[in-house]
């Protein structure tokens, strides 16, 4: 079975500071990895995904994530955050084989303070 | 805009009543999903469909049923709503052009309160 753990439920940072949102996963088989963002009262929007190849993945809005197979991690980073980045962020995995189903972490609420 | 419409967007219902949520897509995608979102749990898969009349259970399927009679519509039914089913429900879609790794697109959500 797969599981995803987001290590921080809330992350407060000041505007223009760097941020890292941590995600670890557990799976006995190879997986694809995703980060989604959810703004208040909206659905989820894909930030980036790792399928194969380079372990550093760049996404929208200046975010990037690095896949670390040995540590089974997929941490999300941004070098300088803006007020508009205030949202909830979800890490997710899906199996490479079979029906595509996402398993989500619990979410991390990112709050940007001026 | 991912071409997904959920209805109703907000609903308050009484315990024991049946409720149906509708998801409509305009993308002709093969896969459709229903997730529920609860604080501290992220999103959890209820049921999914991989084609017309082809559905399967997800992680939290008890108390829910689904139907897909047309490619574009995926219905989620709570046969007898309970307070534990108060949640935000998200429909999602994905095509099947590649084996896994396809982007899954989410609707705007349906807020259901069972009183």
Name beta bridge partners: B77.
Answer: B20, B65
For residue B16, give its domain range: 4-114
pLDDT tens-place string over residues B16-38: 999 999 999 998 898 999 999 99
- Structural domain boundaries, residue A107: 3-113
Number of domains in chain B: 1
The string of DSSP letters for B19-69 reads: EEEEEEESS--SEEEEEEEETTTEEEEEEEEEETTEEEE-TT-TTEEEEEE
Q: What is the CATH number of the domain that holds A57?
A: 2.60.40.10
A9–B101 C-beta distance less than 8 A? no
Q: Do A107 and B42 lie within an 8 Å CB cutoff?
A: yes
Q: Which residue is closest to B4 within chain A, CA to CA?
A: A43
Q: What is chain B's mean pLDDT, rounded?
A: 92
Could you tell me the CATH number of the domain that includes residue B50?
2.60.40.10
Q: What is the pLDDT of residues B55-101, one digit of tens each?
A: 999 999 999 999 999 999 999 999 999 999 999 999 999 876 655 56
Structurally, chain A folds into a number of domains equal to 1
Average pLDDT, chain A: 93
Nearest CA in chain B to A35: B103
- Provide the shortest C-alpha distance from residue B41 to chain A (in Å): 5
Nearest 5°: the CA angle A48, A32, A36 is: 35
Q: What is the spatial distance between Cα A56 and Cα A67, in angstroms, rounded to a whole number? A: 6
């Amino acid at each position: 079975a797969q599981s995803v753990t987001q290590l921080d439920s809330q992350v407060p940072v000041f505007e223009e500071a760097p941020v890292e949102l941590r995600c670890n996963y557990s799976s006995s088989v190879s997986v694809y990895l995703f980060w989604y963002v959810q703004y208040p009262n909206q659905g989820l929007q894909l930030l980036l995904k790792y399928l194969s190849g380079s372990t550093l993945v760049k996404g929208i809005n200046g975010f990037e994530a690095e896949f670390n197979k040995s540590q089974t991690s997929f941490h999300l980073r941004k070098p300088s955050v803006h007020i508009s980045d205030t949202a909830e962020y979800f890490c997710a995995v899906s199996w490479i084989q079979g029906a595509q189903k996402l398993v989500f972490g619990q979410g991390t609420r990112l709050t940007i303070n001026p | 805009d991912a071409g997904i419409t959920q209805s109703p967007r907000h609903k308050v219902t009484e315990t024991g009543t049946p409720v149906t949520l509708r998801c409509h897509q305009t993308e002709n995608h093969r896969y459709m999903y229903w997730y529920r979102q609860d604080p501290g749990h992220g999103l959890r898969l209820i049921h999914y469909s991989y084609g017309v009349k082809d559905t399967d259970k997800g992680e939290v399927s008890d108390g829910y049923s689904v139907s897909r009679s047309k490619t574009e519509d995926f219905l989620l039914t709570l046969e007898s709503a309970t307070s534990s089913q108060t949640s935000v429900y998200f429909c999602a879609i994905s095509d099947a052009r590649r084996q896994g790794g396809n982007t899954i697109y989410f609707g705007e959500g349906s807020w259901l309160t069972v009183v």
